[in-house]
Amino acid sequence: MPERIRPADLDVQVYRDGPAQTRVTIVSSGATTDRAFVLVAGIGVAASYFEFLAPLLAEHGDVYALDLPGFAGMPASGEEPTAAFFADQVEGVIAHYGLVDPVLIGHSMGTQVVTEVLTRRDDLTHAVLVSPVVDEAEANALVQAVRFVQSTVRESAHIAIMAFSAYLLCGMLYFLEVLPHMLRYRISDRIGLVRARLLLIRGEFDRPSPRRLHSRLVARAPRARRWEIEGAAHSIINGHAVGVARLVHRHLADDLAARGRMPAAEAKVPPARHADLQMVLDATASRIAEWLSAVRRDQDGVERAKSRHARLLWRAYVSRS
């Protein structure tokens, strides 16, 4: 992790749009810039997936990590959970916080939501699609389940536990309600309407987001780059957050080739410098406290737990004390 990174401040708020509620985790390091980042996770997954990526991006602007309606303990709205519905919530967050030309970053199903937002707006100039889905040739629930399992076997136990807990908070019924909409969304068709400069990122072993899909998307998008990170799988935003952050910043600076590969050594989140058993136990306790607070719809409790977890990670990975 970069040695200069500062401890980030976290603020958890809830954006309401009628019956729909979106939890917004705002991560700030005091960076003096007007450019913000809006992070949208995949199906059933919580904003906690961005625990490493968010503070790295916050060095260059405030980060708004979203838990959309029905995910991470947020109540379902009763509306059809389509990409268009979720895009409405993202646009509402952008308007509510007065964000000017934020950088939208979506992961997995979040790329569908980001793409849908981008089709509506010409004022958003840059966006990043990490592990976009679904390959139309494999838009089948059983096939996608196999692809996710193939990718999951290359993920760490830490990521598997995070995913499992997020799916529990989402609930199987809502997950199954969202899934058909994700499978039906034709990102290859919609991406042609996007005017923003796009960066597409995938992991070398990302089976749900195959190279052929990236080739199709880049061919149809008016302005797009594609990069691959060696050794990474589908949950690239967590285990390889350092590389994702570097590619994002280079994309914004227009200092990135149209196509390339990043070595795993440059991209992986390194082992914690100051980890011990007590740190592991404290981090686990803070994550459990976050989950329990989310179940109780206690947003203040979620904020306290997230803030504690962020401080623990900063001390473990960066602090010299």
Any bridge partners for residue 25, and if so which? 12, 65
Q: Are residues 39 and 70 in the same domain?
A: yes
Query: Is 168 in the same domain as 283?
Result: no
Q: Is residue 180 domain-shared with residue 302, that is, in the same domain?
A: no
304 lies in some domain: yes
pLDDT digit of tens for each residue in the chain (321 aa)?
Answer: 555 666 778 999 999 999 999 999 999 987 767 789 999 999 989 999 999 999 999 999 999 999 999 999 999 999 999 999 999 999 999 999 999 999 999 999 999 999 999 999 999 999 999 999 999 999 999 999 999 889 888 888 778 788 878 888 888 899 999 999 999 999 999 999 999 999 999 999 999 999 999 999 999 999 999 999 999 999 999 999 999 999 999 999 999 999 999 999 999 998 888 777 888 888 889 989 998 999 898 999 999 999 998 888 888 887 554
With respect to residue 147, please indicate whether it lies within any of the assigned structural domains: yes
Let me know whether 293 and 304 are in one domain: yes
What distance, in Å, lies between the first and last C-alpha atoms of the chain? 16
Please tell me the total number of residues recorded for the chain in this structure: 321
Q: Is residue 308 part of a domain?
A: yes
Q: Domain holding 126: CATH number?
A: 3.40.50.1820
CA 65, 6, 236, 283 torsion: positive or negative? negative
Helix boundaries (H) for the chain: 53-58, 83-96, 109-120, 141-152, 157-170, 172-184, 187-190, 211-220, 236-239, 241-252, 264-267, 277-295, 299-317
Verify that 124 and 16 share a domain, yes or no: yes
Q: Are 87 and 110 in contact, with CB atoms under 8 Å apart?
A: no
Q: Is residue 173 a part of any domain in this protein?
A: yes
Closest CA to 290 of 155, 164, 166: 166
For residues 277 and 199, membership in a common domain is answered with no
Domain count, the chain: 2
Q: Is residue 3 part of a domain?
A: no
Strands 20-28 and 63-67: antiparallel
Same domain, yes or no, for 261 and 161? yes
Pair (279, 255) in one structural domain: no
Shared-domain flag, residues 286 and 146: no
2 is a domain residue:
no
Q: Are residues 294 and 190 in the same domain?
A: no
Domain range enclosing 241? 9-270
Residues 97 and 235 in one domain: yes
- Three-class SS state of 40: strand
pTM attached to this predicted model: 0.93
Whole-angstrom distance, CA of residue 204 vs CA of residue 220:
22
